Amino acid sequence: MRTHSCSQTGPTYIADEPRSAKPGILQIIEIPGLHAQPRQAARHPPRCCQHTHTTRSTTLKVHPIATMFPPLTDEELHELTASVRTHGLRHPIVLGPDGVLLDGRNRLAVCEALGIEPRFTTYEGDDPDGYALNVNIRQRNLTTGQAAMIATKAQAGTETNEHLAPEAAIRSLSERTGVSTGRLELADFVMRHEPNLVDLVITRAVSLDEAHGTALVSKARAQASREHLARLRTEAPDLADRVITGEFTGIQAWNKYRERVKEDIRQRRVATYLLCDVVTALAHTRGSRTFAKYDPQYQAPGRPVTRETIAHAMTALTEMGAVWRERNLP
């Protein structure tokens, strides 16, 4: 640890890398315009979740990975405020070579609220992204699910991640962050199949295990939807086209198809019962002279048997015979 002391008119700078952080080289620097005069301490500690932090005369951009971490709880914020008020700033605010804040936005906000001059250091390693991720994961009081989800979100889309197989990428991320591969695998699954739950896991509104269960259901539904669409392309291409054009969702089109199938079954059942009753009964009259006993005065209302009706019946039986031959029915 290196200590740089100034005269009584200036602040004392202490360069000590936060415990358990990824090794890197930290250099103390003074930021022009950040020497605010002490002022009365704020009654309530500030919330620190913004992407930039404004001091009295300078606005610091916060590293995107640092902004992924949830705000401190009220208890954590009060503890930090009490510690800085009593002991001063133990760990300086860490900036990247480009002046982007990598670590310490909560400490900086507390210093501003208490009117305490903050100290700054510059990270001089070759992986500011990794440093911002690792130091915050190791210093914050996170659940394993939160840590896994933040690490996964930070890693997504990076060049390193794109050039590695999924299993290798997860192992590499585990080695760099200390988060178990098992938790990282769950987080990766949630990000791929239920991305709207990612931030809810990070803020602890939903546990990683709960999100994973929901993601399993979502994956199964997505797979079923793909299978349904493939089947619709063969059995109901008009419905498949309406899915492609966005008129129907996959589920809506599948439900329409099931309604069609259900209606088709109902119609086939009715037709079969009708033909079994009518044709079988008609066949039984063959050679029985039943036709000779037909008396119009006893005919069913609205259902007279005329020569035209008989002609239509004979045509229907001819058509029925053709269908039976076509379908090779007995």
| DSSP class of 156 | T
Confidence at residue 23, expressed as pLDDT on a 0 to 100 scale: 36
Distance CA 152, CA 185 (A): 9
**What per-residue confidence (pLDDT) applies to 21?**
36
Q: What integer pLDDT is reported at residue 58 of this predicted model?
A: 58
The rounded distance, in Å, linking the Cα atoms of 30 and 51 is 22
pTM: 0.63
Predicted confidence (pLDDT) per residue in 198-248, tens digit:
999 999 999 999 999 999 999 998 898 889 999 999 999 999 999 999 999
| 330: pLDDT strictly greater than 90 | yes
Q: Give the CA distances from residue 253 to residues 103, 203, 207, in Å, rounded to whole numbers and listed in that order.
A: 51, 37, 34
| Residue bearing the bigger pLDDT, 121 or 49 | 121
**Which amino acid is residue 264, in one-letter code?**
D
CA distance 174 to 155: 11
The pLDDT-based confidence of 31 (bands split at 50, 70, 90) is very low
Domain spans of the chain, in order of start: 2-133, 143-223, 240-293, 303-330
Q: Locate 28 and state its tokens.
A: 């103390």
Token reading at 85: 């008020």
Q: How far apart are CA 294 and CA 296, in angstroms?
A: 7
pLDDT at 314: 93
The pLDDT score that the predictor gives to residue 63 is 94
Closest of 34, 39, 38, 40 to residue 57, by C-alpha: 34
